[in-house]
Amino acid sequence: QLQLQESGSGLVKPSQTLSLTCGVSGGSISSGYYSWSWVRRPPGKGLEWLGYMFYSGSTYYNPSLNRRVTVSVDRSTNQFSLKMTSVTAADTAVYYCAREGPSVGGFDLWGRGTLVTVTS
């Protein structure tokens, strides 16, 4: 059974770059026409979709992030990544990776999430 697991630095200093990876286990990230996303939930707030890499390799990002986000897929290591530049305290959140399938609109599989705190 396919599973997603987020990993990365839990503490990031303001103005630096947040980097997270999502490992895909139990299957290949390359199989099927799946797309891969990142979502976050700041403390006390709702969920926010950040960005997306389609199976074709094209990407789309939430305009609210002002081009600070990059999503990439590394098929050789069976994982995908999130990079967010110029972070501030407002970027403190639980970050989730998620998969969207070709037949199910929206996300059909999620990771458990990882807390990232932006602090000096």
Residues in the chain: 120
Binding of residue 100 to another protein (CB under 8 A) = yes
Shortest distance in whole angstroms from residue 76 CB to another protein: 25
Shortest distance in whole angstroms from residue 13 CB to another protein: 27
| Total binding residues toward another protein, as defined by CB under 8 A | 25
Q: What are phi and psi of 9, to 5 degrees?
A: -70, 130
Distance set, CA 8 to CA 32, 94, 98, 106 (Å) = 26, 12, 16, 25
By beta-carbon proximity to another protein, the closer residue of 82 and 98 is: 98
Phi-psi region of 30 (alpha: psi -120 to 50; beta: other; left: phi over 0): alpha
Pattern of binders to another protein over 41-70, x per CB under 8 A? -----xxxx--x-------x-xxx------
By beta-carbon proximity to another protein, the closer residue of 23 and 113 is: 113
Shortest distance in whole angstroms from residue 119 CB to another protein: 23
Nearest to 8, CA basis, from 107, 91, 106, 83 = 83
Nearest to 92, CA basis, from 119, 111, 65 = 119
Collapsing DSSP states into helix, strand and coil, what is residue 104? coil
Among 27, 30, 112, 117, binds another protein (CB under 8 A): 112
Residues at the contact surface with another protein, assessed by CB under 8 A: 4, 37, 39, 46-49, 52, 60, 62-64, 96, 98, 100, 104-113
